[in-house]
């Protein structure tokens, strides 16, 4: 027995919410992959623990994707069992998201240590690494307008004379511009990449938090509407 009136409107709202969740699942997967690539390719962070957040995002995205698809089918077919399963799984996902947010807040200080260690390795391995690795380091310094980990002084071991930095540290980058300019603030960036990377991560995290709050609100509304639809479906069965 098909639902009618207000419940029919709720049915389409549940379907719409699940379609939005489905898109959110795709978005989480894409963001997780991009963060993973950025951490290990652009920022060259090798600490395995740094992969925890992007892998969690990808896994959560896959789960949301599947649950949302399941909810769409349940709403469209007005299947009580499928809607019950959807509401239960979505409630568990919401609790998992809150737990992940709390864990991220508790361990937020670890990000500083991971970035510091990774950038230190970046500098110490610069001369002995492949051209691709050096190009990535140079791109990082050029794009973020930074030099070294905490300052340009971190490049003292870059050359034998101890006063040369990579050309990517130069404010106006030309070939050989970093020679003999280690502490010359008029030619070389003095701000370390550690501060710049942290600012970049903090700025992105703020947007992620806002997006997460919006998604969580939509998910809660989705569960509420799903419960209302379940009640309407069950009443329809009782009438039959």
Confidence at 4, pLDDT banded by 50, 70, 90:
low
Structure token digits, residue 129: 């690494």
Determine the pLDDT at residue 6. 63
Determine the pLDDT at residue 40. 55
Structure token digits, residue 10: 């709720």
Determine the pLDDT at residue 89. 85
Average pLDDT over residues 133-143: 87
More confident residue, 40 or 88: 88
Confidence at 39, pLDDT banded by 50, 70, 90:
low
198-210 residue pLDDT tens: 887 777 776 766 7
Task: State the Cα–Cα distance between residues 146 and 168, nearest whole angstrom.
Answer: 9
77-131 residue pLDDT tens: 777 888 888 888 888 888 877 776 776 666 666 667 777 777 888 888 888 888 8
């Amino acid at each position: 027995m098909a639902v009618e009136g207000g419940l029919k409107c709720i049915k389409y709202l549940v379907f719409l919410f699940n379609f939005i969740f489905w898109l959110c699942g795709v978005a989480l997967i894409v963001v997780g992959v991009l963060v993973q690539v950025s951490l290990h390719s652009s920022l060259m962070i090798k600490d395995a623990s740094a992969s925890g957040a992007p892998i969690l995002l990808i896994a959560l995205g896959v789960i949301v994707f599947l649950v949302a698809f399941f909810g769409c089918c349940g709403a469209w077919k007005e299947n009580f069992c499928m809607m019950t399963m959807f509401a239960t799984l979505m409630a568990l996902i919401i609790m998992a998201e809150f737990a992940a947010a709390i864990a991220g807040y508790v361990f937020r200080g670890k990000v500083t240590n991971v970035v510091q260690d990774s950038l230190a390795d970046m500098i110490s391995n610069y001369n002995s690494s492949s051209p691709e690795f050096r190009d990535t380091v140079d791109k990082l310094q050029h794009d973020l307008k930074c030099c070294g980990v905490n300052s340009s002084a971190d490049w003292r071991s870059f050359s034998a004379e101890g006063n040369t930095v990579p050309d990517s540290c130069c404010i106006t980058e030309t070939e050989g511009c970093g020679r003999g300019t280690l502490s010359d603030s008029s030619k070389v960036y003095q701000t370390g990449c550690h501060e710049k990377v942290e600012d970049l991560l903090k700025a992105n995290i703020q947007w992620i938090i806002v997006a997460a709050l919006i998604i969580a609100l939509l998910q809660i509304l989705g569960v509420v509407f799903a419960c209302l639809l379940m009640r309407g479906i069950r009443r329809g069965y009782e009438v039959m």
